[in-house]
């Protein structure tokens, strides 16, 4: 039973444009949502997070939006750069310690 | 200086063998984790230790045994390796499992295990 879903396995975006990565969840008890970025042959690295009591969090080029009624969050990257090409994982926490992960979306930034 | 390091990076072995993967973190974190990334690329938690105490023990075959000699190290020992154990195993650590940002975890580069 997938509690965190990333329905797009891949996304291709032109350099300089906006990249929008989506994530849906089923568990209304999740208290934090996190985005991680992963390059090949490396471990995931933390990008940005949002508390379930907020609807937006921004950090430089990265903004995460949370729509609790729709159980949906999205990561916006503006402007997209070649170095943003990676796999992006959405994850959520419920209680202490445990992260529940989506399957990831591979973002390809075209020059 | 690598924050979370795991060794080896690649491990190729025969079915039935016993192997270990080591993980060390120099971030001063209290909590460490082992994840398995399967063929569908899902990251699944296997174990978590907080201050050397096991706090998460997911449904994992008992051939897998974590060992935490101190809070900076969490090793994974696997007995009687099977073909289905082939995967990438990630070690991670965190300082505030339920802190204001939701428990950011820092990952090692992964160990790619291939069982032949």
The predicted-structure confidence for A36-73, as pLDDT tens digits, reads as follows 999 998 999 999 999 999 999 999 999 999 999 999 99
pLDDT at residue B55 in the model: 81
Nearest to B43 among A31, A89, A96 (CB): A89
Residue of A9, A73, A99 best to disrupt the B interface, most CBs of B under 10 A: A99
State the smallest CA–CA distance between residue A10 and chain B in angstroms.
13
Share above pLDDT 70 across residues of chain A, in percent, rounded to a whole number: 96
pLDDT at residue B101 in the model: 59
pLDDT at residue B98 in the model: 55
pLDDT in tens, B19-75: 999 999 999 988 899 999 987 778 888 988 888 888 877 778 999 999 999 889 999
pLDDT at residue B96 in the model: 60
Mean of the per-residue pLDDT values for chain A? 94
Taking CA atoms, what residue in A is nearest to B102? A32
- Helix (DSSP H) and strand (DSSP E) numbers for chain B: 0, 11
CA dihedral B6, B12, B14, B19 (to 10 degrees): -10
In 3D space, the residue among A34, A30, A39, A6 whose CA is nearest the CA of residue A20 turns out to be A6
Write out the H or E segment, with its range, that includes residue A96: none
Asked if omega into B115 is within 30° of 0 (cis), the reply is no
Contact call for A32 and B41, based on CB within 8 A: no
A52 inside 8 A of chain B by CB:
no
Share above pLDDT 70 across residues of chain B, in percent, rounded to a whole number: 93
């Amino acid at each position: 039973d997938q509690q965190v879903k990333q329905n797009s396995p891949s996304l291709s975006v032109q350099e300089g444009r906006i990249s929008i990565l989506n994530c849906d969840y089923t568990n209304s008890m999740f208290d934090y949502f996190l985005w991680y970025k992963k390059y090949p042959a490396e471990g995931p690295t933390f990008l940005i997070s949002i508390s379930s009591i907020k609807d937006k969090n921004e950090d430089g080029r990265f903004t995460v939006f949370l729509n609790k009624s729709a159980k949906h969050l999205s990561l916006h990257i503006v402007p997209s750069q070649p170095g943003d090409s990676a796999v992006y994982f959405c994850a959520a926490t419920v209680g202490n310690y445990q992260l529940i992960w989506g399957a990831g979306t591979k973002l390809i930034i075209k020059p | 200086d690598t924050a979370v390091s795991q060794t080896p990076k690649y491990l190729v072995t025969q079915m039935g063998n016993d192997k270990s993967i080591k993980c060390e973190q120099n971030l001063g974190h209290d909590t460490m984790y082992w994840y398995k990334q399967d063929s569908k690329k899902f990251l699944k938690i296997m174990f978590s230790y907080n201050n050397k105490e096991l706090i998460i023990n997911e449904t994992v075959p008992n051939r897998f045994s974590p060992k935490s000699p101190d809070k900076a190290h969490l090793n994974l020992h696997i007995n009687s390796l099977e073909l289905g154990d082939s995967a990438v195993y990630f070690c991670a650590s965190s300082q505030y499992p339920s802190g204001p940002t939701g428990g950011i975890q820092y990952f090692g580069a992964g160990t790619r295990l291939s069982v032949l």
